[in-house]
Amino acid sequence: MKKEELWKGVEEYINDKIVKQESFMLDALIESSKAGLPPINVDPPEGKLMHIILKSIGAKRALEVGVLGGFSGLWIASAMKGGKLIGLEKSEKHVRVAMENIKNAGFQESVEIIEGDAILSLKKLIEDKVNPFDFILIDANKEPYLEYFLLAMKLSHSGTIIFVDNMVWGGQVISDSTENRDILGIRRLYNDLQKRNDVDATVVQTVGSKGYDGFAVIRVK
């Protein structure tokens, strides 16, 4: 058995045994696929981890940079009883599919999606002096990862968890010869985190149905 097949098989085993996705989450994946959205959503075990973190910190306000079809948003929203999730998404099609999935799951009253460039939307939230967020997910295009993070820090408070997906990128983050803008964007975030004293951070490497990758968990001091 190839290692990729083994990773996928173990992930399916984990999903079946302990992740136990709600039916509306499975429906969201099906509808997103039917709509032609790329299958780049977070893996279910990662979604469940975010769900557990949100519940553990008693999160009531969450921000998501990069919504896609709403799968990760459903993990977030379902962890916050009486909470509010604001999603930022550039693609009109993705917004439409995500809102339909969120509506079908019954979370339309607790989720707002702002369509447009995420950097501009983040700056607008800062200008509007919105209340800080307890949990922030960054999972959008990788080149501006540092810009997303710096703006997210301005929307945080002490104890905010910032969760950043795709921080390993198949191991290519350690390639010195790469000219890939996505990888260079991820490395810029690493370089910034290396110099910071105002956060606690780690990166967990993962394998699964989408191959070799990883995510960062960052706590604002």
The CATH number of the domain holding residue 121 is: 3.40.50.150
The residue segments making up the domain with residue 165 are: 3-220
Please report, in tens digits, the pLDDT of each residue of the chain (221 residues total): 899 999 999 999 999 999 999 999 999 999 999 999 999 999 999 999 999 999 999 999 999 999 999 999 999 999 999 999 999 999 999 999 999 999 999 999 999 999 999 999 999 999 999 999 999 999 999 999 999 999 999 999 999 999 999 999 999 999 988 899 999 999 999 999 999 999 999 999 999 999 999 999 999 99
Structural domains of the chain, count: 1
Interstrand relation of 61-65 and 84-89 (parallel, antiparallel or unpaired): parallel
| Residue showing tokens 């379902």 | 78
- How many whole angstroms separate alpha carbon 194 and alpha carbon 105? 40
Q: How far apart are the first and last CA of the chain?
A: 44
φ, ψ of residue 4 to 5 degrees: the values are -65, -40
Residue 202: left (phi > 0), alpha (psi -120 to 50), or beta?
A: beta
What predicted TM-score, i.e. pTM, was given to this entire model? 0.97
